A = this chain, B = another copy of it.
């Protein structure tokens, strides 16, 4: 009797285990489809998965059959003037020397800058290429002091928690030589703050959803061009990533849920006593391989 009972317990347990496991596997698959599990399966990406990786768009979009660009898009000759080889070498060197003077700055002067310059800089960033020419970017330029104060409050509150709790010892140790902390004076000192939002999707004229492929990469690349324009105009900036502040700042600025904050750049003149960490850049041999 004892053995018989034991055997019955075992079978019941096994059945219950099997059922639980099946339910769990099913739930798990469903969840993984919704999350970014495909990051590991580098070899089989579909456009929806890519849009998800970039921006967590997870809706079925098999019904969107209107191309985002006009069907009859004309193809025209490229306007191009070839430079003599010497001139090309000279210019490539000149531009390197110019860009090599760029440094990230953390203390700003509050001296005003004409908005015209900021507009030209953002127009320049707008010339960046983007996946399927979706141009998935919104630049929110803050000049208003009251708004800057609100932004600073949100960021300093979050950053204090980031530094004290979330970032962990490795990260804060790595950052210590750069002397950064959660007090961000530049958020109210700099004449402008540029908040860069990536658009994960938008809507076509016929109100179909338009997926923005590679939106994260496109926007970061555009910010590279933005930075070069800021430097070319003789201004300075700081490429900051307000960790965990995205949703609060998005709602403060009234941006739609299709957008996500990626970077925040104060722009202006450096403070007269501005100090920068004495960093060196890797030499060419360390970053380039020739084959």
Contacts and interface: CB of A to CB of B under 8 A. Distances in A.
Contacts of A186: none
- The 4 tightest CB contacts between A and B, nearest first, are A224-B224, A220-B220, A47-B171, A92-B120
B166 A239 contact: no
Contacts of A187: none
A47 B273 CA distance: 32
A154 interface: no
A43 B43 CA distance: 30
Contact of A99 (B28, B35, B124, B233): B124
A131 B171 CA distance: 11
29 contacts: A42-B247, A45-B166, A46-B166, A47-B167, A70-B177, A72-B177, A77-B273, A77-B276, A85-B114, A89-B120, A93-B120, A96-B123, A96-B124, A99-B229, A119-B288, A129-B227, A139-B287, A141-B289, A171-B211, A174-B211, A216-B216, A217-B220, A220-B221, A220-B224, A221-B224, A221-B239, A222-B224, A223-B224, A253-B289
Contact of A291 (B119, B144, B239, B274): B144
A132 B37 CA distance: 27
Nearest to A113: B88
A205 interface: no
A71 interface: yes
Interface residues of A, number: 152
Interface in A242-279: 243-244, 246-247, 253, 262-263, 269-270, 273-279
A42 B243 CA distance: 9
A252 B59 CA distance: 36
A147 interface: yes
A173 B67 contact: yes
Contacts of A72: 177
Interface in A118-171: 119-129, 131-133, 135, 137-144, 147, 166-171
A91 interface: yes
Nearest to A47: B171
